[in-house]
Homo-oligomer: A and B are copies of this chain.
Amino acid sequence: MPRTGRRPGPSTTRAAILEAARRRFAAAGYDATALRAIAGDAGVDPGVLLHFFGSKEGLFRAVVGWPFDPARVVEPELIRPGREGVGARLARTFFGYWEDPTTGAALSALMRSAMTHAESAALLREFVAHELFARFAGFVHGLDANLRVELAAGHLVGVALLRYILRVEPIASAGIEELVTWLEPALDRYLQAGGPPVSQAE
């Protein structure tokens, strides 16, 4: 079918926006990238971009391939219910996305991509810092609040790597609630404590 002289179809436009956004976000980071600049690169009006992706955050999420909207999860499900039980809620939510075939495959794919492509790693780094970790800023206190959020994230991600990607036993077949019970104290310690770290070992 000849395409010359015809307006590009929606899937072409969407792909052009994603490609322009990927280049801009990877080069300048999320905050320094203007929607207008992406729209210009893709040769569309900024309104088209909002029509496809809803918001700058939505576009960023599509570029990274992140399978859910962190704004709908972090505040309402993890933070708002309060400090009590935050570790268990976080672990349950995290494993919920990994256990679901669709979101689990997406998380697995973006982890693989970030490990093998520098640009994907840069985008994922920017995404998790801006869209996930920063959302805990007002919740986790102290000078090393960001480090502690990343320690909690690192614990969960490493368990996911052994369970879902390396598939080593017995962690690959352990029940979710068993994992939550084990992880809860470590996650609570990272996310709840306000003082300097105190060894809980004998």
Contacts and interface: CB of A to CB of B under 8 A. Distances in A.
Protomer copies? 2
Contacts of A158: 153-161
Interface stretch (A45-53, A58-66, A73-81, A186-194): A186-194
B159 A155 contact: yes
A201 B152 CA distance: 14
B181 A192 contact: no
Contact of A185 (B116, B166, B178, B200): B200
A136 to B, nearest CB: 14
Interface in A141-163: 144, 146-148, 150-151, 153-163
A147 B159 contact: no
A115 interface: yes
B174 A201 contact: no
Interface stretch (A3-11, A18-26, A98-106, A120-128): A120-128
B199 A166 contact: no
Interface residues of A, number: 56
Q: Is the interface of A mostly helix, strand, loop or mixed?
A: helix
23 contacts: A84-B202, A87-B201, A116-B116, A121-B167, A124-B166, A125-B167, A129-B169, A146-B170, A147-B170, A147-B174, A147-B182, A148-B182, A150-B162, A151-B182, A151-B183, A153-B162, A154-B159, A154-B163, A155-B158, A158-B158, A185-B186, A185-B200, A192-B201
Given A150-B162, A157-B158, 20 more contacts: A85-B201, A111-B115, A114-B166, A116-B116, A124-B166, A144-B170, A144-B178, A146-B169, A146-B170, A147-B170, A147-B174, A150-B171, A154-B158, A155-B155, A157-B162, A161-B161, A182-B190, A184-B201, A188-B201, A189-B200
Interface of A: 84-85, 87, 111-112, 114-116, 121, 124-125, 128-129, 133, 144, 146-148, 150-151, 153-163, 165-171, 174, 178, 181-186, 188-190, 192, 197-202
